[in-house]
Amino acid sequence: DVKVTQSSRYLVKRTGEKVFLECVQDMDHENMFWYRQDPGLGLRLIYFSYDVKMKEKGDIPEGYSVSREKKERFSLILESASTNQTSMYLCASSFPRETDLSWYFGPGTRLTVL
Amino acid sequence: ELKVEQNPLFLSMQEGKNYTIYCNYSTTSDRLYWYRQDPGKSLESLFVLLSNGAVKQEGRLMASLDTKARLSTLHITAAVHDLSATYFCAALFVMYSGGGADGLTFGKGTHLIIQP
Protein backbone atom coordinates (compact mmCIF):
# COMPACT_ATOMS: atom_id res chain seq x y z
CA ASP A 1 0.00 0.00 0.00
CA VAL A 2 3.02 2.26 -0.40
CA LYS A 3 2.11 5.41 -2.33
CA VAL A 4 4.96 7.94 -2.00
CA THR A 5 8.48 6.77 -1.32
CA GLN A 6 11.69 8.67 -0.73
CA SER A 7 15.10 7.25 -1.50
CA SER A 8 16.61 7.65 1.96
CA ARG A 9 15.26 8.07 5.48
CA TYR A 10 18.53 9.46 6.80
CA LEU A 11 21.40 11.08 4.92
CA VAL A 12 24.66 12.64 6.10
CA LYS A 13 26.66 14.76 3.66
CA ARG A 14 29.55 17.16 3.81
CA THR A 15 29.49 20.86 2.99
CA GLY A 16 29.94 21.43 -0.72
CA GLU A 17 28.71 18.02 -1.83
CA LYS A 18 26.04 17.67 -4.49
CA VAL A 19 23.06 15.91 -2.97
CA PHE A 20 20.16 14.17 -4.69
CA LEU A 21 16.90 13.40 -2.92
CA GLU A 22 14.56 11.16 -4.86
CA CYS A 23 10.79 10.86 -4.59
CA VAL A 24 8.60 8.33 -6.38
CA GLN A 25 4.81 8.08 -6.39
CA ASP A 26 2.75 5.23 -7.79
CA MET A 27 -0.60 7.01 -8.12
CA ASP A 28 -0.11 8.69 -11.52
CA HIS A 29 -0.37 12.13 -9.91
CA GLU A 30 0.32 15.21 -12.01
CA ASN A 31 1.45 17.39 -9.13
CA MET A 32 4.52 16.77 -7.00
CA PHE A 33 6.07 18.92 -4.31
CA TRP A 34 9.15 19.26 -2.15
CA TYR A 35 8.86 20.78 1.32
CA ARG A 36 11.38 21.24 4.05
CA GLN A 37 10.39 21.08 7.69
CA ASP A 38 12.22 22.85 10.48
CA PRO A 39 11.27 23.11 14.16
CA GLY A 40 9.10 26.13 14.82
CA LEU A 41 8.79 26.96 11.11
CA GLY A 42 6.40 24.27 9.94
CA LEU A 43 6.61 23.06 6.35
CA ARG A 44 7.85 25.41 3.66
CA LEU A 45 7.52 24.79 -0.06
CA ILE A 46 10.78 24.57 -2.01
CA TYR A 47 9.65 23.60 -5.53
CA PHE A 48 6.72 21.98 -7.21
CA SER A 49 6.00 20.35 -10.53
CA TYR A 50 2.65 20.14 -12.29
CA ASP A 51 3.76 17.98 -15.19
CA VAL A 52 6.78 16.18 -16.61
CA LYS A 53 9.65 18.60 -17.20
CA MET A 54 7.60 21.45 -15.72
CA LYS A 55 8.65 23.08 -12.47
CA GLU A 56 7.92 26.20 -10.48
CA LYS A 57 9.65 27.81 -7.54
CA GLY A 58 8.04 27.72 -4.16
CA ASP A 59 8.71 29.99 -1.21
CA ILE A 60 12.34 29.03 -0.52
CA PRO A 61 14.01 27.77 -3.74
CA GLU A 62 17.46 29.30 -3.14
CA GLY A 63 20.18 26.68 -3.09
CA TYR A 64 17.95 24.00 -4.62
CA SER A 65 16.99 22.74 -8.04
CA VAL A 66 14.64 19.98 -9.19
CA SER A 67 14.21 17.53 -11.99
CA ARG A 68 11.15 15.69 -13.27
CA GLU A 69 11.96 13.53 -16.26
CA LYS A 70 9.23 10.99 -15.60
CA LYS A 71 5.77 11.51 -14.19
CA GLU A 72 6.30 9.30 -11.17
CA ARG A 73 9.68 10.70 -10.10
CA PHE A 74 10.59 14.13 -8.70
CA SER A 75 14.15 14.82 -7.61
CA LEU A 76 15.43 17.57 -5.36
CA ILE A 77 19.03 18.61 -5.92
CA LEU A 78 21.28 20.51 -3.56
CA GLU A 79 23.98 21.79 -5.91
CA SER A 80 26.45 22.53 -3.11
CA ALA A 81 25.16 21.47 0.26
CA SER A 82 25.49 23.87 3.17
CA THR A 83 24.93 23.42 6.88
CA ASN A 84 21.80 25.57 6.79
CA GLN A 85 20.23 22.95 4.55
CA THR A 86 20.22 20.45 7.40
CA SER A 87 16.54 19.66 7.69
CA MET A 88 13.73 17.16 7.20
CA TYR A 89 12.63 17.01 3.55
CA LEU A 90 9.16 15.83 2.67
CA CYS A 91 7.87 14.98 -0.77
CA ALA A 92 4.16 15.09 -1.59
CA SER A 93 1.95 14.39 -4.58
CA SER A 94 -1.62 15.14 -5.61
CA PHE A 95 -4.08 15.22 -8.46
CA PRO A 96 -5.42 18.56 -9.68
CA ARG A 97 -8.10 19.92 -7.36
CA GLU A 98 -11.01 18.87 -9.55
CA THR A 99 -10.02 15.24 -9.43
CA ASP A 100 -9.26 14.34 -5.87
CA LEU A 101 -9.05 15.86 -2.42
CA SER A 102 -6.12 13.87 -1.14
CA TRP A 103 -2.52 14.79 -0.79
CA TYR A 104 0.00 12.05 -0.06
CA PHE A 105 3.24 12.62 1.78
CA GLY A 106 6.35 10.50 1.73
CA PRO A 107 8.08 9.31 4.90
CA GLY A 108 10.65 12.11 4.81
CA THR A 109 14.42 12.31 4.48
CA ARG A 110 16.35 13.71 7.39
CA LEU A 111 19.42 15.34 5.89
CA THR A 112 22.40 16.39 7.98
CA VAL A 113 25.10 18.51 6.35
CA LEU A 114 28.37 18.57 8.26
CA GLU B 1 0.46 35.44 -0.60
CA LEU B 2 -1.43 33.07 1.62
CA LYS B 3 -0.34 32.96 5.24
CA VAL B 4 -1.53 30.44 7.80
CA GLU B 5 -1.27 31.03 11.52
CA GLN B 6 -1.85 28.45 14.19
CA ASN B 7 -2.21 28.96 17.89
CA PRO B 8 -1.14 27.91 20.31
CA LEU B 9 2.19 26.60 19.05
CA PHE B 10 2.71 24.57 22.19
CA LEU B 11 0.08 23.04 24.43
CA SER B 12 0.44 20.90 27.50
CA MET B 13 -2.76 19.52 28.91
CA GLN B 14 -4.04 16.82 31.18
CA GLU B 15 -5.96 13.76 30.16
CA GLY B 16 -9.69 14.20 30.26
CA LYS B 17 -9.62 17.92 29.44
CA ASN B 18 -11.00 19.65 26.36
CA TYR B 19 -9.09 22.10 24.22
CA THR B 20 -9.15 23.84 20.85
CA ILE B 21 -6.41 24.61 18.33
CA TYR B 22 -7.05 27.59 16.08
CA CYS B 23 -5.99 28.07 12.48
CA ASN B 24 -6.34 31.42 10.70
CA TYR B 25 -5.54 31.96 7.05
CA SER B 26 -5.05 35.29 5.33
CA THR B 27 -6.73 35.00 1.92
CA THR B 28 -9.53 33.03 0.33
CA SER B 29 -9.00 29.32 0.24
CA ASP B 30 -11.57 26.68 -0.58
CA ARG B 31 -9.97 23.78 1.20
CA LEU B 32 -8.50 23.34 4.65
CA TYR B 33 -6.53 20.31 5.80
CA TRP B 34 -5.56 19.03 9.22
CA TYR B 35 -2.62 16.68 9.69
CA ARG B 36 -1.07 14.85 12.57
CA GLN B 37 2.67 14.18 12.85
CA ASP B 38 4.33 11.87 15.36
CA PRO B 39 8.03 12.38 16.17
CA GLY B 40 10.26 11.26 13.31
CA LYS B 41 7.28 10.35 11.15
CA SER B 42 5.57 11.82 8.12
CA LEU B 43 2.20 13.55 8.01
CA GLU B 44 -1.02 11.65 8.61
CA SER B 45 -4.14 13.16 7.10
CA LEU B 46 -6.92 13.81 9.61
CA PHE B 47 -9.54 15.99 7.93
CA VAL B 48 -10.27 17.87 4.72
CA LEU B 49 -12.81 20.68 5.05
CA LEU B 50 -14.36 22.04 1.88
CA SER B 51 -17.10 24.49 2.62
CA ASN B 52 -18.28 27.07 5.09
CA GLY B 53 -19.77 25.48 8.16
CA ALA B 54 -18.19 22.10 7.44
CA VAL B 55 -17.70 19.96 10.51
CA LYS B 56 -15.98 16.60 10.64
CA GLN B 57 -15.40 14.31 13.58
CA GLU B 58 -13.21 11.30 14.16
CA GLY B 59 -13.07 9.92 17.65
CA ARG B 60 -12.08 12.62 20.10
CA LEU B 61 -11.14 15.09 17.35
CA MET B 62 -13.55 17.46 15.65
CA ALA B 63 -12.64 20.00 12.98
CA SER B 64 -14.71 22.90 11.69
CA LEU B 65 -14.36 25.59 9.06
CA ASP B 66 -15.66 29.15 8.90
CA THR B 67 -14.65 30.54 5.51
CA LYS B 68 -16.05 33.99 6.23
CA ALA B 69 -13.83 34.37 9.27
CA ARG B 70 -11.03 32.42 7.53
CA LEU B 71 -10.82 30.26 10.61
CA SER B 72 -10.65 26.56 11.24
CA THR B 73 -10.61 24.88 14.62
CA LEU B 74 -9.53 21.46 15.83
CA HIS B 75 -11.29 20.55 19.04
CA ILE B 76 -10.05 17.80 21.33
CA THR B 77 -12.57 16.24 23.65
CA ALA B 78 -11.56 14.35 26.79
CA ALA B 79 -7.93 14.15 25.71
CA VAL B 80 -5.98 10.92 26.06
CA HIS B 81 -2.21 10.43 26.00
CA ASP B 82 -2.29 8.79 22.55
CA LEU B 83 -3.30 12.11 21.03
CA SER B 84 0.07 13.63 21.91
CA ALA B 85 1.59 14.75 18.60
CA THR B 86 2.17 17.83 16.48
CA TYR B 87 -0.90 19.02 14.59
CA PHE B 88 -0.71 21.07 11.41
CA CYS B 89 -3.35 22.92 9.50
CA ALA B 90 -2.81 23.75 5.84
CA ALA B 91 -4.79 25.84 3.39
CA LEU B 92 -4.99 25.14 -0.32
CA PHE B 93 -4.13 27.87 -2.81
CA VAL B 94 -3.66 28.14 -6.57
CA MET B 95 0.03 28.23 -7.41
CA TYR B 96 -0.03 28.08 -11.15
CA SER B 97 -2.24 30.54 -12.99
CA GLY B 98 -2.70 28.07 -15.83
CA GLY B 99 -4.83 26.03 -13.51
CA GLY B 100 -4.54 22.56 -12.09
CA ALA B 101 -1.65 23.04 -9.74
CA ASP B 102 -2.51 23.83 -6.16
CA GLY B 103 -0.23 24.04 -3.21
CA LEU B 104 -0.63 23.74 0.51
CA THR B 105 0.54 26.47 2.83
CA PHE B 106 1.11 25.14 6.32
CA GLY B 107 0.89 26.66 9.75
CA LYS B 108 3.85 26.23 12.06
CA GLY B 109 2.20 23.40 13.91
CA THR B 110 0.87 22.90 17.42
CA HIS B 111 3.00 20.64 19.59
CA LEU B 112 0.51 18.92 21.87
CA ILE B 113 1.52 17.04 25.01
CA ILE B 114 -1.15 15.24 26.99
CA GLN B 115 -0.10 14.20 30.45
CA PRO B 116 -1.73 11.48 32.52
| In the predicted structure, residue B93 carries a pLDDT above the cut 90 | no
Q: How many domains does chain B have?
A: 1
Chain A residues whose CB is inside 8 A of the B42 CB are: 90, 105-108
Mean pLDDT of A10-17: 97
Mean pLDDT of A31-36: 95
* pLDDT tier at B94, thresholds 50, 70, 90: confident
Q: How far apart, in whole angstroms, are the C-alpha atoms of residue A104 and residue A94?
A: 7
Q: Kindly list the distances between the CA atom of residue A30 and the CA atoms of A51, A71, A94, A102, A107, in Å, as whole numbers in the listed order.
A: 5, 7, 7, 13, 20
Contact: B100, A31; criterion CB under 8 Å = yes
> Can you give the pLDDT at residue B1?
76
CATH number at residue B64: 2.60.40.10
Domain with B23, as residue range(s), is 4-115
| In the predicted structure, residue A22 carries a pLDDT above the cut 90 | yes
Chain A residues whose CB is inside 8 A of the B50 CB are: 101
Compute the mean pLDDT over every residue in chain A, rounded to the nearest whole number.
Answer: 92
Asked if A106 and A8 count as a contact pair (C-beta separation under 8 A), the reply is no
> Can you give the pLDDT at residue A94?
87
| In the predicted structure, residue B98 carries a pLDDT above the cut 60 | no
CB atoms within 10 A of CB A14: 11
- Selection from B77, B1, B64, B76 nearest residue B32 by Cα: B64
Residue B116 to chain A, least CA–CA distance (Å): 25
* pLDDT tier at A40, thresholds 50, 70, 90: confident
Contact: B100, A96; criterion CB under 8 Å = yes
Domains by residue range for chain A, with CATH: 4-113 (2.60.40.10)
> Can you give the pLDDT at residue A99?
59
Residue of A nearest to B36 (CA): A105
Within an 8 Å CB–CB cutoff, is residue A60 touching chain B? no
Instruction: Give A 2-21 residues with CB within 8 A of chain B.
Output: none
List pLDDT tens digits, range B12-68.
999 999 999 999 999 888 789 999 999 988 899 999 998 888 899 999 999 999 999
Across the A:B interface, residue pairs with CB atoms under 8 Å apart total 64
